[in-house]
Structure 1
Amino acid sequence: MASERCVALIAHDEKKDDMAEFARRNRQTLANWRIVATGTTGGRVQDACPDLQVTRLKSGPLGGDQQIGAMIATGEVQMLIFFVDPLTAMPHDVDVKALMRLAIVYDIPMALNLATAGQLIDFMRSERA
């Protein structure tokens, strides 16, 4: 059942505005999924879409990426939308790579940019139908 499916939302600092706008534009589709997000990203999504239920985890550098990775490994997260900023060095780059590796190992759909996230939203809509 689509309402039991879970999507994780993460955005690097320079991409948080993009994620908030993405959530705002797609809130009807996202409302049909359980949403988990790293702390600051989750706060920005909630500000943009107060009607969405967002479970906020720790900030990415403080363990949020690893929390979502664990949720992928246990089957609690079925989709990852992670707006990555390729132009800014990340001190927690190892955690980011581990998270992406888990999404690949557990074969869940993963979007790393807006174009691919749009494709996942189309998939999410079709899952609802």
Structure 2
Amino acid sequence: MNIALIAHDQKKNDLVQFVTAYQSIFAKHNLFATGTTGMRISEATGLTITRYKSGPLGGDQEIGAMIAKNQMDAIFFFRDPLTAQPHEPDVSALIRLCDVYSIPLATNMGTAELLIRGLDEGLLDWRNIARENDENNGR
């Protein structure tokens, strides 16, 4: 599975701790992240992560493009709802794309716990079928 890891500045430590706690599960998947978030997680865990630009510089949009191409299977996006983000339209667009393409999205620790456990139990295997259908239909 292709998994994106994104966190606003005030939530980066939380995401690093979360990925560290579930490192054995994340290690089984292809990981993608925005700039600093990916660097911090990689340094803390040693996991291989494909890094895009930081969110405000287009990283959210790069991950959004993967969603639109059906190349992303789950998103862990620890958002800071109490701090204004200069790239809020990009954040909203990313969330909207997850809804449009039925991509599981965890925006906080509570939903992240459910998503990672479901991923580990194979409850997201339907994503493999969806991706194969797109590939067979030339999308």
Give the TM-score band, short-chain normalised: over 0.9
Taking the aligned partners of 2:2 and 2:122, their CA distance within structure 1 comes to 12
Larger Rg belongs to: 2
Contact map agreement 1:81 1:111 (CA 8 A) in 2: yes
Map of 2:74 onto structure 1: 79
Taking the aligned partners of 2:90 and 2:103, their CA distance within structure 1 comes to 18
State the Cα distance separating 1:124 from its structure 2 match. Answer: 1.2
- Whether 2:2 is the aligned partner of 1:17: answer no
Alignment partner of 1:10: what SS?
strand
State the Cα distance separating 1:53 from its structure 2 match. Answer: 1.1
- Whether 2:111 is the aligned partner of 1:96: answer no
Alignment partner of 2:122: what SS?
helix
**Cα deviations across residues 54-74 of structure 1 (Å, max 9, x unaligned)?**
001000000000000000110
Alignment partner of 1:127: what SS?
coil
Unaligned runs of at least 5 residues, structure 1: none
- Whether 2:109 is the aligned partner of 1:109: answer no
Q: What is the 5 A alignment of 1:3-82?
A: 5-50=1-46, 52-82=47-77
Structure 1 runs of 4+ with >6 Å offset: none
Aligned residues: 123
State the Cα distance separating 1:48 from its structure 2 match. Answer: 1.1
Contact map agreement 1:23 1:48 (CA 8 A) in 2: no
TM-score computed with the length of structure 1 as normaliser: 0.93
- Whether 2:114 is the aligned partner of 1:119: answer yes
Unaligned runs of at least 5 residues, structure 2: 124-139
**Cα deviations across residues 103-122 of structure 1 (Å, max 9, x unaligned)?**
00000110000010000111
**Cα deviations across residues 12-58 of structure 1 (Å, max 9, x unaligned)?**
000000010001000000011100000010011001101x1100100
Alignment partner of 2:72: what SS?
coil
